[in-house]
A and B are shown apart, each in its own frame.
Chain A
Amino acid sequence: MDERWFLGRDDLAVLVAVLRREHRVLAPQVRSGAIVLAELADVADLPWGVHDVTAPGRYRLEETDPHDRDDPDDVPAGRRAFDHAVGPQGLKPLTFAPREALWRSRRSSGGRLAFEAVVEPAPRTAVLGARACDLAALQLLDQHFSHREQPDPAFARRRRSLFLVAVDCARPAATCFCASTGDGPVAAFGYDLALAELDDGYVVRARSEAGSAVLDALRVRTATDAEVRRAERQGAAAAAAQHRRLPGGAVAGALLDRLDSPRWAAIAERCLSCGNCTAVCPTCFCHAEGDETLLDDPTCVEHCRQWDTCFAAGHSYLHGWVVRGDTRLRYRQWLTHKLDTWFEQFGRSGCVGCGRCLTWCPAGIDLLAELELLLDPSPQVEGEVERAGT
């Protein structure tokens, strides 16, 4: 078994101080009613005693009752810092920037063009509180952007700058289903350090040399068997507490067999085609390229890329017409890609079970309920539709 260490609750600030020697430190904090990753000034700014209550189309923060624990052995000793699930964004914006310049075109007075690459800064960044689902998503983005003949330089630069401290989820939200996708709630890979939060401190494991080096600089002791057991029980309880499930391998190849299902039109009646789901999805990678003239230098144009969505008409624009002209076709494209053709591209589905697309859908569309109806072989599907839709 990997070695487990114990970091006292009061020493979390020491961990942050050590990380800050070489990195800016991002950690979950409450901003505008949501828990987001932001630069951490003080461990007191972590969302102590706050958790997220979610449902399709709903996200609220609530104070946590410290006595409300599944684990009867755990001594409630106050509020925790990482007692929430996932906010609207995970690690995706840190590696695949929402908007960035790729190159510039400069036109001289004689009409000549000069092209220059733009290298955006990638400051060394430590994330305290990365979630297992987001680490799995990052691995998929790595596959897409980096594991290729010509790795994407902007992505690769940001990716190399990351130091990741995972924190296992102890309190999944109602929209979480990472246990069913095999991606959480306990981080299994992709981190430098991982913490399991107990009331009196953190059971710590290291997975990289960089992680071990940080550990060496901390006041940690070997975790006791009891502490390790508590952490493991907590992880198992967090998995068991998830009530939503993504059907496993049954999805591969199944959605392309259902392109003619009437369900797509039924979903499209509620879907606003807003693209929130693709913006919050930690694995959606589509981006559009375009030009922007610099206000301070009219001879210079920046060629930028920014996140795009398959729910926009422009995504499937093709010389004068739009391949996916309505919401039914766009939703179908999103879901068949994410849960079906993704298998062929990346060897697994594109869903890591974070539940963000449910939570942040303004129409409250429950991907899993829709999927169940789409995959249901029984002829009574139409009767079920109304219930799922209301």
Chain B
Amino acid sequence: MQGRDVVAARPGSCLPHEAEIVHRVQESSTIFSLYLRFTDPTVHAGFRYRPGQFTMLYVHGAGEVPISIVSDPEHEDLLVHTVNRVGRVTRALAALRSGDRLGVRGPFGHGWPLRQAEGQDVVIVSGGLGCAPAVCVINHLVRRRERFGRLTIVQKVRTVDEFIWPERYERWAALPDTTVLVASTRGAQDWRWQVSGRIAVLDDVRVPSARTVAFLCGPAGFMAAAARKLIDLGVPAHGVYLSTERNMQCGRGVCGHCQFGSLFLCQEGPIFPYPRLARLLDTEGF
């Protein structure tokens, strides 16, 4: 088109940066992890993020999709995203192999309030594929175990196939002062964890003190029920944090797709304390 200028990327601009897939792991039939390195070493060294933030991953010609970062910014060199293949862009992402290039824009949003959680008991609850961002925060806590109190890890799936990282949960279960609770709605022959529906597994969570924070991710209905249950168990409402999801397109709070009531989830979240979401949480159409 006439009169347009095309300018190269500047730091801090809204442009994606090119990254290379260093390593790709197929986690289940539809879930895969991409281990990324920015091709510009300066960009790679300068990319700062916190657990709970997300990026927009871009596949040339297919478009962008918001995906949460699951790597540990202080302990891992590569930027890791775990993706479920469900739509057009994630199908294109699934087709990429080691050595392929993609674009990364971000990071966006705010992370989990990990500093605030220090010295407190922590309960992490994830439902279904919500476990990817949960694993990120669990790794963070486990690596800095001495800074936190009791650790309770809860993972709820509908079918045993959705439980994709059993060895990690086994490992965490062996840690001191750590409880791991896993439940599936439908069991299987060699399933050694609970078989229970909805949020029944939360009945086994112990909250001995109000100095407890809870981090939740998963479907909205699941999180809403789990949040209410944890508050009943004694976790202060303002200490229950939920990781929200919407079809974020800009990441900057302008495109409007992530609005939830008055909140722009991408920019103000995606993690919120329960009271900020409570009114509309799990309301049809929001």
Contacts and interface: CB of A to CB of B under 8 A. Distances in A.
B60 A344 contact: no
Contacts of A119: 4-7
Contact of B61 (A120, A288, A301): A301
A369 interface: no
Contact of B285 (A116, A153, A291, A324): A324
Interface in B154-168: none
A295 interface: no
B285 A332 contact: yes
Contacts of A107: 60, 101
Contacts of B286: 323, 333
Contact of A104 (B6, B64, B262): B6
Contacts of A308: 255-257
A71 interface: no
B249 interface: yes
Contacts of B60: 105, 107, 113, 301
Interface majority SS (helix, strand, loop, mixed), chain A: mixed
Nearest to B9: A115
Interface stretch (B10-18, B131-139, B195-203): B10-18
A105 B103 contact: yes
A152 B250 CA distance: 11
A148 B18 CA distance: 27
A314 B215 CA distance: 29
B257 A117 contact: no
B87 A288 contact: no
A113 B102 contact: yes
**Residue of A115, A286, A301 with most partner-chain B CB within 10 A:** A115
A259 B3 contact: no
B14 A113 contact: no
Interface string A100-121: 0111110100011111111111
Given A288-B257, A319-B84, A117 B103 contact: no
Interface in A145-195: 145, 148, 150, 152-153
Interface string B46-67: 0000000000001011111000
A292 to B, nearest CB: 9
B29 interface: no
B95 interface: no
Contacts of A116: 6-9, 15
A247 interface: no
A305 interface: yes
B28 interface: no
Interface in B188-242: none
B254 A288 contact: no
B7 A287 contact: no
Interface in A244-294: 256, 259, 285-291, 293
B245 to A, nearest CB: 6
A69 to B, nearest CB: 43
A337 interface: yes
B284 interface: yes
B253 interface: yes
Nearest to B64: A289
B252 interface: yes
A89 interface: no
A103 B15 contact: yes
Contact of A117 (B6, B249, B255): B6
Contacts of B77: none
A230 interface: no
Contacts of B17: 115
B58 A117 contact: no
A287 B103 contact: no
B100 interface: yes
Contacts of A305: 250, 255
A288 B255 contact: yes
B61 A285 contact: no
Contacts of B5: 118-119
A64 interface: no
A318 interface: yes
B246 interface: yes
Interface string B23-42: 00000000000000001000
A363 B247 CA distance: 29
**Residue of A105, A114, A301, A344 with most partner-chain B CB within 10 A:** A105
Contact of A111 (B10, B100, B257): B100
A92 to B, nearest CB: 14
Contacts of B279: 256
Contact of A320 (B16, B87, B99, B285): B87
Contacts of A315: 247, 257
B261 A152 contact: no
B61 A293 contact: yes
Contacts of B39: 112
B178 interface: no
B255 A113 contact: no
B254 A285 contact: yes
Contacts of B16: 103, 105, 115
A287 B255 contact: yes
Contacts of B246: 316, 318, 323
Sorted from nearest, which 3 A-B pairs have the closest CB atoms? A286-B256, A329-B285, A344-B262
25 contacts: A105-B58, A112-B101, A113-B101, A116-B8, A117-B9, A117-B10, A117-B15, A118-B4, A118-B5, A121-B4, A148-B252, A153-B14, A256-B280, A285-B254, A288-B255, A291-B61, A293-B61, A303-B58, A303-B63, A305-B255, A324-B285, A329-B284, A341-B261, A342-B262, A345-B264
Given A117-B13, A308-B256, 9 more contacts: A102-B14, A116-B15, A285-B254, A288-B257, A289-B63, A310-B256, A323-B246, A323-B286, A341-B261
